[in-house]
């Protein structure tokens, strides 16, 4: 870890009480005056906007809870946020996970990338610290730790949604599947491939990159040479935009692209109209799809001057459910909080409820399919049984 990363431990705007002798936080072994929550997200690099959005959701919830005089068993408790930048890097993720543990957190909301959540999970698990992640790779909850909890549907359901929608609704004859080389992207693409093959669809091009590649001249040429009419993408939004520009250059735009949740962002809206159709699946349903969504969007916009970029409403809800687990446990011990989270059917202000099964998967989770139309993502269909 670099020195600059060491310095960037805390988020501006949250006053941090000093760790006085005797310890306000003292490893969270009793109910202190202040309880520290960790947030670990990518706050620099190509997907920093998504990580910042997830952090914003937590910060908004903490601000509201503290303003409402949050208490546990009649005792006023101040919630504090300790945030670290995992840089979307597995090794950095492990370093900052240890940094959060050493900082006395009682639970963590993180990480975004499956490739970071999975290697960081044993570090949190060794200390009984609940890890609430938006990562979607099924391997995360298959680690066997009671501490691994997921906010949304996993990629088994997302792969089924991609294959089902593309086969039934897009009617393609020649498919290409692309991924970003991460555990998230590769496993999602492979899962989709298996389902497309089972549906008797022809996958004529299968290619894996890394999660930073934007040089797609050769790929565009291959797509044209193979006469691909449906592109299945588990690439990041900035990578999809780079590919669209290359397709435009060679005038191969009579193609449709179905991306995954890392493509369904506000940035990808810049690609509207370049090819015949842009779609995306996502287990991160938009805030506006929920009854309480408009109120959340208004508060979020007032606080941060822009709409959510990704899943800020899920981290907002996760923080509220975590606060209820603290109240249920009547304790700040990490293992007590983890046990409470497994029992809770928590009220989530935006999405309605969060409840985990024995593996840490959401019981009430769905995947939506969206189409980019008139510069906006519009819901086409949504299901919890693809």
Strands 78-85 and 75-76: unpaired
How far is residue 104 from each of residues 34, 107, 361, measured CA to CA in Å? 11, 9, 26
pLDDT > 90 in the chain, percent: 88
Is the C-alpha dihedral spanning 200, 205, 211, 212 positive or negative?
A: negative
pLDDT tens digits along 130-139: 999 999 999 9
pLDDT category, 27, cuts 50, 70, 90?
Answer: very low
- Give CA–CA dist 39/100, Å, rounded: 8
Backbone angles phi, psi at 371, to 5 degrees: -120, 135
Is the C-alpha dihedral spanning 114, 157, 359, 361 positive or negative?
A: positive
The whole-number average pLDDT for the span 89-112 is: 98
Mean pLDDT over the full length of the chain: 92
The whole-number average pLDDT for the span 73-96 is: 97
Backbone angles phi, psi at 176, to 5 degrees: -125, 140
Q: 305 — alpha (psi -120 to 50), left (phi > 0) or beta?
A: left
Residue-level pLDDT at 29: 45
pLDDT tens digits along 160-170: 999 999 999 99
CA nearest to 138, candidates 93, 186, 96, 181: 186
The whole-number average pLDDT for the span 33-49 is: 96
pLDDT at 8 over 50: no
pLDDT tens digits along 208-224: 999 999 999 999 999 99
User: What is the set of domains in the chain, with CATH numbers?
Assistant: 3-153+289-355 (3.40.50.2300), 155-282+367-383 (3.40.50.2300)
Residue-level pLDDT at 266: 85
Residue-level pLDDT at 374: 87
Residue 201 near residue 172 (C-beta atoms within 8 A): yes
pLDDT at 50 over 60: yes
Residue-level pLDDT at 163: 95
Residue 114 near residue 184 (C-beta atoms within 8 A): yes
Strands 352-355 and 345-348: antiparallel
Q: What is the 3-state secondary structure (H, E, C) of 16-61?
A: CCCCCCCCCCHHHCCCCCEEEEEEEECCCCCCHHHHHHHHHHHHHH
pLDDT tens digits along 311-356: 999 999 999 999 999 999 999 999 999 999 999 999 999 999 999 9
């Amino acid at each position: 870890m670099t020195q600059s990363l060491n310095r960037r431990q805390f988020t501006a705007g949250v006053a941090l009480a000093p760790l006085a002798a005797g310890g306000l936080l003292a490893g969270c072994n009793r109910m202190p005056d202040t309880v520290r929550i960790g947030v670990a997200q990518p706050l620099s690099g190509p997907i920093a906007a998504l990580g910042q959005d997830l952090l914003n959701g937590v910060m908004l919830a903490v601000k509201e809870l503290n303003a409402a005089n949050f208490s546990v068993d009649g005792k006023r408790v101040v919630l504090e946020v300790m945030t670290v930048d995992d840089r979307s890097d597995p090794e950095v993720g492990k370093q900052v996970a240890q940094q959060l543990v050493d900082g006395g957190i009682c639970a963590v909301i993180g990480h975004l990338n499956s490739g970071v959540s999975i290697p960081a999970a044993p570090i949190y698990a060794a200390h009984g610290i609940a890890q609430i992640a938006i990562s979607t790779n099924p391997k995360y909850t298959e680690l066997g730790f009671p501490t691994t909890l997921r906010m949304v549907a996993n990629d088994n359901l997302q792969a089924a949604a991609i294959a089902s929608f593309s086969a039934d609704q897009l009617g393609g004859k020649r498919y290409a599947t692309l991924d970003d080389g991460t555990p998230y992207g590769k496993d999602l693409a492979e899962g989709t491939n298996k389902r497309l093959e089972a549906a008797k669809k022809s996958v004529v091009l299968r290619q894996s990159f890394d999660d930073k590649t934007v040089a797609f001249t050769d790929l565009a040429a291959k797509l044209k040479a193979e006469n691909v009419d449906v592109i299945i993408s588990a690439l990041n939004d900035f990578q999809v935009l780079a590919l669209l520009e290359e397709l435009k250059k060679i005038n191969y735009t009579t193609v449709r692209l179905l991306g995954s949740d890392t493509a369904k962002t506000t940035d990808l809206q810049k690609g509207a109209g370049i090819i015949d159709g842009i779609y995306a699946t996502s287990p991160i349903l938009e805030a506006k799809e929920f009854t309480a969504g408009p109120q959340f969007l208004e508060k979020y916009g007032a606080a941060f001057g822009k709409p959510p970029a990704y899943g800020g409403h899920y981290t907002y809800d996760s923080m509220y459910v975590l606060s209820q687990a603290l109240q249920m446990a009547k304790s700040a011990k990490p293992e007590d909080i983890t046990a409470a989270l497994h029992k809770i059917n928590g009220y989530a202000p935006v999405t309605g409820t969060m409840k985990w099964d024995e593996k840490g998967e959401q019981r009430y989770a769905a995947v939506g399919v969206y189409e980019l139309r008139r510069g906006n993502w519009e819901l086409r269909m949504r299901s919890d049984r693809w």
